[in-house]
Amino acid sequence: MGDALPADGFEVFHTPAALDVLDDHVAGELRLYGGFKGDRPVGLLPVVVRESAVGRAILSPPPGFSIPRLGPLIMPASPKRRKREQVNATFAEAVLDDVGVDRSLTVLRLVCPTSYPDPRPYVWSDLSLDTRFTYHLTVDGDTDALLASFSKSLRREIRDAKELDVTVERGGTDPVQQIYDRTQERYAEQDRGFPLDRAYVTDLTDALAAEGRCRTYVVRGPDDEFLSGVVVLYSNDAAYFWLGGTRTVHEGTGVNGLLHWRIIEDIAADEPPASVDTYDLMGANTERLCQYKSKFGASLTPYYAVESGGPGMTAAKTAYRLVSR
């Protein structure tokens, strides 16, 4: 699938490295659908097929893996709208026919990438449509203007944190376990189940780091103690706030604003691939979390979820929302 990916517009979880790890850990069969015009790929869709006594589920992404979006990629050769719509409709129809979405015991759920603009073929096939949102912060070289666009309280938090005796470290995967533990502890404090398996997180971050698609950012105190950390994943377009960043206060000052600011500064300085120009704050669907994320002045970016009905869909949706941010 790697050779078939476009230069941009795909999610980090569309990459072969991420899909290989998912295949190792997911319950079910990972299928990679491809539509071609001659030798040229025009449509791609990874799905997980789960068979059970009560039916089958077609999921992209599967729940429980903190994959916010996966779904179809459409890459028509022609820029003309009619051609794009034709490719989109033909590919959707072929996939839905192959998975048997019209069977009474089959349920399907696709959560599409933000680059996917047209879910109508799925709606025309009697699937329901849900619009969801994330925050995309566009990052260019002018960090002063970007900082000025933040809320007053966030700017103050960043300024105050800079005056603390703390350091922000950028590194590889060594701090992943500390970030995982701190996040798991935070979920427990809130009486929430933590859905992510440690082995999956370890394998995913190692695989993506080997391709330059994963970094960690950690705030440490004066005695080198771990205060907070974030795992950042990278597509060709975006840096993703994937794991960590639980609320942390040191000497009366929150340190996560400084952590995010260092990530943003590195994007502006082309420290990840130069093509990365967006910081994806990974979800704008939970009111409590949006109160903080909205302080960055990022753009509210929609994406689509399409799904069929059926006796298993309610449970699948509930499981998905455990990791939705």
Residues 309, 234 share a domain: no
DSSP letters for 20-43: HHHHHHSSSEEEEEEEEETTEEEE
Q: Among residues 200, 208, 201, which one has the least CA distance to residue 272?
A: 208
Residues 74, 17 share a domain: yes
User: Is the bond into 61 cis (omega within 30 degrees of 0)?
Assistant: yes
Inter-CA distances, 63 with 58, 279, 288, Å = 11, 23, 22
Number of domains in the chain: 2
Residue 292 lies in a domain: no
Domain boundary at 276, 294, 311, which? 276
Residue 151 lies in a domain: yes
Sign of the torsion formed by the C-alpha atoms of 107, 21, 32 and 305: positive
Judge whether residue 2 has pLDDT over 80: no
Distance CA 93, CA 87 (A): 10
Q: How confident is the model at residue 325 (pLDDT cuts 50, 70, 90)?
A: very low
Residue 298 lies in a domain: no
Residues 170, 75 share a domain: no
Structural domain of residue 270, as residue ranges? 140-276
Round the average pLDDT of the chain to a whole number and report it: 93
Amino acid at 323: V
Quick: pLDDT tens for 220-263: 999 999 999 999 999 999 999 999 999 999 999 999 999 999 99
Per-residue pLDDT, 272: 82
Q: How confident is the model at residue 103 (pLDDT cuts 50, 70, 90)?
A: confident
Residues 186, 164 share a domain: yes
Amino acid at 195: P
Quick: pLDDT tens for 261-303: 999 999 999 888 889 999 999 989 999 889 999 999 999 999 9
**Inter-residue contact 215 to 230 (CB < 8 Å):** no
Residues 307, 238 share a domain: no
Per-residue pLDDT, 313: 58
DSSP lists the bridge partners of residue 34 as 44
What three-state secondary structure class fits 51?
Answer: strand
Q: What percent of the chain has pLDDT over 70?
A: 94
Query: Rounded mean pLDDT of 205-209?
Result: 98
Residues 122, 145 share a domain: no
Judge whether residue 323 has pLDDT over 50: no
**Inter-residue contact 196 to 182 (CB < 8 Å):** no
The CATH number linked to 104 is: 3.40.630.30
Residues 153, 60 share a domain: no
Query: Rounded mean pLDDT of 72-90?
Result: 94
Residues 146, 51 share a domain: no
Per-residue pLDDT, 144: 94
Residues 144, 17 share a domain: no
Residue 285 lies in a domain: no
Q: How much of the chain is in helix, strand and coil states, percent to nearest 5?
A: 35, 30, 35
Q: Among residues 244, 249, 213, which one has the least CA distance to residue 230?
A: 244
Residue 289 lies in a domain: no
Distance CA 19, CA 109 (A): 18
Residues 168, 272 share a domain: yes
Amino acid at 182: R
Q: What percent of the chain has pLDDT over 90?
A: 86
Q: How confident is the model at residue 1 (pLDDT cuts 50, 70, 90)?
A: low
